[in-house]
Amino acid sequence: MTATAIGDFDLARIDRAFIDNPFPTLRALREKHPVHRMADGSVLLTRHADCQKVYQSRAMLSDKRAEFGRKFGAGPLFTHHSTSLVFNDPPYHTVVRKLLAGAFTPRKLAEMEPLIEGIVERMLDELEDMGRFDLIAAFAMVLPTEIISFMLGIPESYRRKLRGYSLAILGALDPVVPPERLAAGHAAVTEFGAILADLIAHRRAHPEGAAQGEVLENLIVGEVDGRHLTEEELVQNCIFLLNAGHETTTSLVGNTIAMLLAHPDQLRLLQREPGLIATAVEESLRVESPLQIGNRLAGEALDLGDCVLPEGTYIHTSIAGANRDPAVFEAPETVDITRRPNRHLAFASGIHVCLGATLARIEGKLAVGRFVSRFPRLAADGPAELMGLARFRGYARLPVSIR
């Protein structure tokens, strides 16, 4: 792109070509306009060091009530996104994070590994009989659906709806959101919120029925410094858990397998050396991060070295741009499943570092590692289709064959 075109870039005017392949544009921005101010006064950062500095600063705020008020108006989407953990700051953020953290302790995660292994092996047995299938619908979304349903105590009858809820709610966070997508997001918050309210009422009445590893009871009865979650906070943070633990993990699995299919030398290397699965997952998180863009509001002036962002600046952190910064990553456009170290920002950092990062890595390693080992003749079987979101990167369809 020309310097003039790059200078005019605006997240509010992106098209499908950018969504499908944002990386050349982000590279040009990082080289020519690493601190890029857009028409509305907000700033897009594409350098790793700048994004990291934003994430590490306690003065960079996650509360976006003003921004969400303008974007969503009064209604379910505003209620959800202004109440959930990820878009709040201490002290509320501290309370909710401490309550949720009990579900992600090393002991709890160790208890969940056999469950994850069992789900993966059952799915692989079913896929072996199919031969050809859409990897997203038949595999990538099944594991996180089962896990998050287990954690929230969601009955099987509701599970097929979870990805639709998640995509509708997360899709409303994109820089450009058409009215029909906003309407779908409002409806998803309302419908899933009603289901969760019923589940919460049932668990209050029958606490003895909670399964080992279920987080719902902990959220209901837990307290931090005498502070319990209100009913609204309970519902909205359970929706947050769905979104954080479902769609991004679906995309992690799908994106990793798509990356390997696009780079058959790396797929063959992983099949020869299955011990590389951990670094393969990290490389996928770097080159195809499920979360592409983050946001913060500058609570005070932020010195980036070559410029200062004044207090009140609305900041977009380009995780996708930072993860391909040559100042941090050697040959950043090259896929290398042996890459070490790999200081990507897929899970952000600082006080908002992804609470479920360890669980996501476990799911990704078990799902992808067992899949490519079980099916050595894995191949693409038709055109793949991306979800079409700018903030979240993942596939709607990924047809494959295993014979």
Could you give the residue ranges of the DSSP H alpha helices within 92-230?
A: 92-101, 106-130, 135, 142-152, 156-159, 162-171, 179-205, 216-221
pLDDT for position 330: 98
Q: Tally Cβ neighbours within 10 Å of residue 292.
A: 22
SS3 215: coil
Running DSSP on this structure, what letter comes out for residue 99?
A: H
Q: pLDDT tens, 234-276?
A: 999 999 988 888 889 999 999 999 999 999 999 999 999 999 9
Q: pLDDT tens, 177-217?
A: 999 999 999 999 999 999 999 999 988 888 877 765 677 88
Q: pLDDT tens, 267-326?
A: 999 999 999 999 999 999 999 999 999 999 999 999 999 999 999 999 999 999 999 999
* 50 touches 304 (CB < 8 A): yes
Which two three-digit tokens encode residue 225?
A: 């410094």
Distance CA 266, CA 308 (A): 42
pTM: predicted TM-score of the whole model, two decimal places: 0.93
Secondary structure (DSSP) of 25-41: HHHHHHHH-SEEE-TTS
* 76 touches 165 (CB < 8 A): no
Distance CA 81, CA 72 (A): 10
Q: What are phi and psi of 147, to 5 degrees?
A: -70, -50
Q: What are phi and psi of 388, to 5 degrees?
A: 85, 25
SS3 64: coil
> Does residue 2 register a pLDDT over 80?
no
